[in-house]
Chain A
């Protein structure tokens, strides 16, 4: 390349047609505005969240300091232990490990049964033709409209008749009966996308229905299966309504009820926000961790119903 052409190029680069220049500036401005708006949105999302964590690390005196401090000095990590000590002094035996154990017991049992039964039912809806299938499927989807309010009182009475109030049964055992229509729907959508040949090949190899389901179909819908696993974990971990109705021994409470018990036993004058926020952070932490690890499945589970359906 000669010097001449190079300088020509340079001149070309410096000189810009006024219209092109205007467009370039407009486009840059457009970009800048987009990022500014996104940053404002991010601030709205993050500020309350950071405030929760920040409060959870403050001492009681720092809570009401004015102006508020974002990074407390000193950082009171002890809140995460003291909150439980304080809770234990209100209700004996209400320890961290007990409550976490209860929460995990409910969550894991319900989640496992929910995932498994939803997959079986979805398989029956997706891969086999039988009379009345579409009607049953439609009825199943319409149950999503029924608010839990309607079945709350009679379900309570049924469990009372069975003598199983104040046990974990109402929170875990019914999960075997595929109680999440949304999960069934999601899995069915995935089963539908798998080519028939996969099953036919397995049949030729002499596999029975259960074998096909476990060894062929489930691995193929693994992303969707994990997606409902993640959603189900979240749903059961956060579930507040059912434990509120069925459990009344404080020591049997899951985390969410323990927090509410704590909130209610504190006087209105001294709400102990640093303890409450430490508890809230603890409750959110496993879900957030799960979210960051399995984000793909969260998004998958969330979007498939809306976009594929």
Chain B
């Protein structure tokens, strides 16, 4: 911990640089505009491009350059205390270390660590395979070892979280939005109510649910106590029980995100022209047919938007895990795990490689959703054109 120079001394240097950057950016834009005009570019394109320049500069400094740097770092060993990264003899070592798995037979009386051995190839240090599971096959005991079981468990936890929580959240939100769309009295009131958890800070939500799920004095276990008595079972441990960590996170996540989805879907529902339903009714369509052939297609852009944003958010869940300590042995959400690799254990090179793998996972899944969208997302083209330039 470094010393505290006092409030004013911490604010004003930043304030100075904040103003300086704004002024600098303004001068840059003005200069660029003049330059473009001198080069014979017309007023309209020169102005348009100049106005977008802040984003372009930011994109180069804070996105492109870091991404490139991160790719380079992922091929190196770089402790946070070092000045420079050290190139690795095997550039792919970080990636191999994250993903290597080995399955070997476990003879009677041997310890897994002995049979699993170490990672082959040129490694900067001895990397051991450690047990992440075992199974029995044809009477023989096998042990599964990984060079970084924590990472793999984290990925597995995160994927299960995304796959379970995103569809549940969307289905629930669709249900509530449909209810609210039934000419309910005081829609505004209900909408506000359902949206409430979504505006709460993630940190506050995490603390709140940590307390609600407290095993001995939490509200949830108290509310469930009649059921426990009825079934003659022990109160559930929620975040402290490793088989319930995932469901607990899902429940908390649903409570938090649910309302935002509902508001978006409700706005989508209100946008569907009433005459479509009337026309369908004349044609003798029932409630389900109308839902299947009007509501769902007309709502598909909003559903699509929710699907994309929720999936990205679920895969990169971070704050909640920071406030709810669970056992690393059972897997941490991968984004939090990577943060710890970099800033607690100081392995910047390794963390960069892990970051790349998470990014690829996110981009792959997002592109998959985009590819599939052609089949199920319906855009009302004509209206779009009218709205566009």
Interface residues of A (CB under 8 A from B): 34-35, 37-38, 41-42, 44-49, 51-52, 55, 63-64, 66-68, 93, 98, 101-102, 105, 109, 113, 117, 120-121, 123-131, 133, 136, 139-140, 143-158, 166-169, 172-174, 176-179, 184, 189, 192-193, 209, 234, 237-238, 240-241, 244-245, 248-252, 256, 259-260, 263, 271, 273, 276-277, 279-281, 283-284, 287-288, 291-292, 295, 298-299, 302-303, 305-309
Query: How near does chain B come to A165, taking the closest CB pair, in angstroms?
Result: 10
Contact of A298 among B199, B255, B351 (CB under 8 A): B199
Residue pair A276, B200 in contact (C-beta under 8 Å): no
Extra A-B contacts (19), CB below 8 Å, given A49-B200, A150-B67, A189-B387: A45-B255, A48-B255, A49-B196, A63-B217, A101-B7, A113-B22, A124-B49, A124-B52, A129-B44, A130-B48, A147-B359, A149-B338, A155-B66, A177-B55, A240-B318, A248-B2, A260-B322, A288-B200, A302-B260
B164 at the interface (CB under 8 A from A): no
Q: Is the CB of B48 within 8 A of A166?
A: no
Q: Which of A64, A167, A302 contacts B217 (CB 8 A)?
A: A64
7 contacting pairs across A/B (C-beta < 8 A): A124-B49, A128-B47, A150-B358, A152-B338, A157-B69, A167-B13, A260-B322
Is the Cβ of B255 less than 8 Å from the Cβ of A44?
yes
Q: How far is the CA of A306 from the CA of B302 in the complex (A)?
A: 5
Give the residue among A144, A192, A263 with the most B Cβ atoms within 10 A. A263
Asked whether B234 is an interface residue with its Cβ less than 8 Å from the other chain, the reply is no
User: Whole-angstrom distance between the alpha carbons of A252 and B14 in the complex?
Assistant: 13
Is the C-beta of B113 less than 8 angstroms from some C-beta in chain A?
Answer: no
Assess A295 versus B356: contact at CB under 8 Å? Given A66-B222, A124-B51, A149-B316.
Answer: no
- Are B54 and A166 in contact (CB-based, < 8 A)? no
Assembly CA distance A140 to B82 (angstroms): 34
A291 to B198, CA, bound (A): 10
Among residues of A, the one whose C-beta sits closest to the C-beta of B304 is: A306
- What mask results when residues 43 to 84 of chain B are scored 1 for a CB within 8 Å of chain A, else 0? 011111111101111110111011101100100000000000
Per a CB cutoff under 8 Å, which of A127, A273, A306 touches B264? Answer: A306
In the complex, residue of chain B having the shortest beta-carbon distance to the beta carbon of A238 = B201
Complex partner residue of A295 from B192, B204, B339, B366, CB under 8 angstroms: B192
Chain A residues in 8 Å Cβ range of B22: 113, 176
Is B99's beta carbon under 8 Å from chain A? Answer: no
Residues of B within 8 A of A184 (CB): 55
Pair count A-B, CB < 8 A:
323
How many residues of B sit at the interface, in one of the four size bands? 35 or more
Select one of A55, A67, A153, A173 contacting B342, CB under 8 A.
A153
Closest Cβ neighbor of B41 among chain A residues:
A130
User: How close is B229's CB to chain A, nearest CB, in angstroms?
Assistant: 13
In the complex the two chains form, what is the Cα distance from A32 to B159 in whole Å? 39
Closest to B201 in A: A238
* Contact assessment for B190 and A38 in the assembled complex, using a CB-CB cutoff below 8 Å: yes
Q: Label chain A's interface by main secondary structure.
A: helix
- Contact mask for chain B residues 349-370; partner A; CB cutoff 8 A; 1 contact, 0 none: 0011011101100110010000
Of the candidates A102, A153, A169, A209, which one forms a contact with B348 in the assembled complex, judged by CB atoms under 8 Å apart? A153
A244 — which chain B residues lie within 8 A by C-beta? 322, 339
CB of B281 within 8 A of chain A? no
Across-interface contacts of B354 in A (CB, < 8 A) = 149
**CB-based closest 5 A-B pairs:** A177-B58, A128-B48, A124-B51, A130-B45, A154-B66
Q: A128, B45: Cβ atoms under 8 Å?
A: yes
Tell me, yes or no, whether B335 is within 8 Å of chain A by CB.
yes
B323 contacts partner chain A, Cβ-Cβ < 8 Å: yes
Which residue on B lies nearest to A212, using beta carbons? B47
B319 touches A124 (CB 8 A): no
Q: Which of A109, A178, A249 contacts B54 (CB 8 A)?
A: A178
B101 contacts A by Cβ under 8 Å: no
State whether the Cβ of B259 lies closer than 8 Å to any Cβ in chain A.
yes
- Cβ contacts under 8 Å, A113 to chain B: 18, 22
Contact of A169 among B14, B207, B335, B355 (CB under 8 A): B14
Question: Given A35, A102, A176, which contacts B25 in the complex, CB threshold below 8 Å?
Answer: A176
* A178 contacts B55, C-beta separation under 8 Å: yes
B316 near A147 with CB under 8 A, answer yes
* Given A151-B66, A283-B204, CB of A68 within 8 Å of CB of B339: no
A208 to B9, alpha carbons, bound, how many Å?
40
- A176:B21 contact, CB within 8 angstroms: yes
| Residue B162 CB within 8 A of the other chain | no
Chain A residues within 8 Å of B259, by CB: 45
Bound Cα distance from A146 to B200, whole angstroms: 24
B197 interface hit (Cβ, 8 Å)? yes
A158-B263 CB under 8 A given contacts A45-B193, A251-B4: no
In the complex, the answer to whether A169 meets B59 with C-beta atoms within 8 Å is: no
What residues of chain A lie closer than 8 Å to B69, measured between beta carbons? Answer: 154, 157-158
Asked if B332 lies at the interface with its beta carbon under 8 angstroms from chain A, I say no
Question: By the criterion CB–CB under 8 Å, are A287 and B52 in contact?
Answer: no
Q: Is the CB of B203 within 8 A of A283?
A: yes
